[in-house]
Amino acid sequence: MSTAPEIRDYKDQDEACLIQLIRELQSHETAYYDRMIPPGEIAGWYIDAIKKDCRDYAGHIRIACSDGMPIGYCATMTEVPNEEGDEVPFEYAYVNDLVIAKSARGQGAGKALLRDAEALARAANAKWLRINVLAKNTVAREIYDSFGFEEHLVTMEKPLK
């Protein structure tokens, strides 16, 4: 990718491309987490769930394109209520999904989508932007660190085999 990707709103005709991107990510993330839905089971229901979250939490699905072809997407929810029961009520913005095609990784599309997600959050007057990452996905963690994300709440797990 020689130039910055075009970032645009999701269109219904993007669904098949998004499903392929999500399946590719599922395959990639099984190296870090063994409880992923099998990639072949990802279908339109997944996109429907993201669209529902967008309706419920003032969200946006944004597509990164190179030469007119989708190479990634980001779903950002801008009005998510906290569910941490010991805190006063507040809302935050949340990057629900950030997926880049394997062939386009490391070329700036992810950072362009993160900048776009931050702009959406700021436009909605969100005070915080959150994102989740699998702990063992060190490449993604380094990117999020370099983008200014900091650990907020760390969940630790011990396998009981």
CA distance linking residue 63 with residue 15, whole number of Å: 11
Q: Which of 39, 38, 60, 63 minimizes the C-alpha distance to 50? A: 60
pLDDT given for residue 78 in this prediction: 98
pLDDT given for residue 1 in this prediction: 47
Tokens of 111: 């950072």
Concatenating the DSSP letter of every residue in 23-76 gives: HHHHHHHTTT-TTPPPGGG--HHHHHHHHHHHHHTTEEEEEEEETTEEEEEEEE
CA distance linking residue 31 with residue 34, whole number of Å: 7
pLDDT given for residue 2 in this prediction: 56
Is residue 49 in some structural domain? yes
- The pTM of the full predicted model, rounded to 2 decimals, is 0.91
- What is the total count of domains within the chain? 1
Q: Residue 30 maps to which CATH number?
A: 3.40.630.30
Is residue 152 in some structural domain? no
Is residue 93 in some structural domain? yes
Mean pLDDT in each 10-residue stretch from start to end of the chain (161 residues)? 85 96 94 92 97 98 95 98 84 95 94 97 96 91 93 83 83
CA distance linking residue 141 with residue 48, whole number of Å: 27
Is residue 1 in some structural domain? no
Is residue 15 in some structural domain? yes
pLDDT given for residue 155 in this prediction: 79
Is residue 157 in some structural domain? no
* Containing structural domain, residue 61: 6-146
Is residue 64 in some structural domain? yes
